[in-house]
Amino acid sequence: MKTTFILLSFLVPTALFAQQWQPKIANLRPYDQTGINVFEDPKDATEFDGLKVKFGAGFTQQFQNLKHTNKDALNNTIGSFANGVSTPGNRLKVITPGFQTAQANLFMDVQLADGIRLNVTSYLSSKHHNENWIKGGYIQFDKLPFKGEFWDELMKVTTIKIGHFEVNYGDAHFRRSDNGQALYNPFMESYILDAFATEIGGEVYVRKNGLFGMIGLTNGMIKGNVDSLYAASNPDGKLHKSPSLLLKAGIDKQLTADMRVRLSASYYGNQSSGSNTLYGGDRGGSNYQYVMELNSANPSSATGAGTGLAFSGRFNPGFTKKINSVMLNGFVKARGLELFGTYETSSGRNARETATRNASQYAADVVYRFGPAENLFIGARYNVLTATLADNATGTGGGAIKYNGNVKVDRVAAAAGWFLTRNVLLKGEYVIQNYKDFPVADSRAGGQFKGYVIEAVVGF
């Protein structure tokens, strides 16, 4: 109760400002509760009455009480020092109940002209980096500044996005937490295999009568890059950089006043990337902090000897050189009941490998929203990943992993939440995640973490 009081005392005053009048920006997914279950940005038929600038934000604060173990890992000791270098073995980082680092997003949306808007999103505070940075920025055209009936009719069903943006692969990224913007997600985290990337390029959408399609082309990397690829870091001999191709199609129908159905299929492919980050491109960080991470020489250090601590609880297959992924999604909303399902399969490799590996997952979310304006909800999620580890990876216990078998990670989560206003959300989750069939040289062998996380969120 004390934790809840602290969270609400910090965030409710901010929400009072959020409920004040803000200028209307056309074709924009709202950042508050009304943006839930909105996927692609809506295509509003609004009149342009001059240039407008809208600032919004997303703030989160979490309290975590998670515990983790890795009972099957080899050499489960703190390790020793040799020549000034720590060798921590497989001992996991010591974590205790406490508050996580708060996260904050800043949104700037500008209505530049009739049907033309600009977005710039900044991360003011994140678990991945300390400094403030730009997530991305893009221009979206729902109308073109060309006169003629042909252009008017074309843009009634067409949307064009150009810039550095979150690529529209699958539907799961519309329901995940994006650093400080966590109102859309009824749970604490995204999927175990987390498809999220910001890349430079363009996407073209066509929508009519509930049917939609999209084609996109990007640079296939998290940022701009004009460097050549060197043979030393690309022993496969492929020294050219290929663009990423995105395809998406589906149907989204409001069948009755109480029933909505959406089905979609998405493809993402890059055949020779400089450094692809589809499954490691989140620069905000995980909301399960430090779970299943290795210990460091200093127990209070934020730096461990394992993978990057920003992505705790997730699995990155390391398809950095070549990747082909498909995601199928289904969504049904019947009054307050929501069902959201995902099946995803991916194959790829890194630059050191000669053969591709596979990873796949499926997930099912059940959420029931009730109360005035559906301001209360309960939900449950089941998520299972199966993947093949790289056979040339370095074991986190200090040795090389030569392992071609499949590993498995599964998660069960139960959540509940309360929207105090459409801008303020308090939610909590209990989670159990298991790691199976990992080799003993891997610190995740026989791993499990479980416990609860409470989160307070503001979005406007």
Q: What is the pLDDT of residues 81-128, one digit of tens each?
A: 444 444 556 888 889 999 998 999 999 999 999 999 999 999 999 987
Cβ neighbours of residue 29 closer than 8 Å, sequence gap 6 or more? 35, 38, 41, 42
Tally of domains within the chain: 1
The phi and psi torsions of 197 (rounded to 5 degrees) equal: -155, 145
Q: Say what the alpha-carbon torsion angle 164, 358, 70, 415 is, to the nearest 10 degrees.
A: 60
Strand partners, 94: none
* Helix or strand holding residue 219 (H, E): none
Within 10 A of 226 (CB to CB), how many other CB atoms are there? 5
| DSSP helix/strand/coil, 149 | helix
Q: Which residues of the chain have pLDDT under 70?
A: 1-21, 75-89, 296-308, 391-404
Give the residue numbers spanning the domain of 381.
Answer: 2-459
Instruction: Report the Cα 82 to chain-centroid distance in Å.
Output: 39
Give the per-residue pLDDT at 147: 87
The CA distance from 422 to 321, in Å, is 42
Contact 243, 201 (CB under 8 A): yes
Question: Looking at residue 417, what is its pLDDT?
Answer: 98
pLDDT of residue 390: 84
Q: DSSP letter for 84, please.
A: T
Comparing CA positions, the residue from 181, 348, 189, 332 lying closest to residue 268 is 348
CA distance 218 to 342: 24
The Cα–Cα gap between 456 and 427 comes to 6
| pLDDT for res 398 | 40
| This prediction's pTM | 0.88
Nearest to 156 by CA among 105, 116, 208: 208
Whichever domain contains 48, its CATH number is 2.40.160.10
- pLDDT at position 405: 75
For 24, the token pair is: 């209307």
State whether residue 12 is helix, strand or coil: helix
By CB atoms closer than 10 A (0-12, 13-18, 19+), residue 5 is exposed
Query: In Å, what is the CA distance from 439 to each residue of 92, 187, 261, 418, 442?
Result: 16, 30, 42, 42, 6
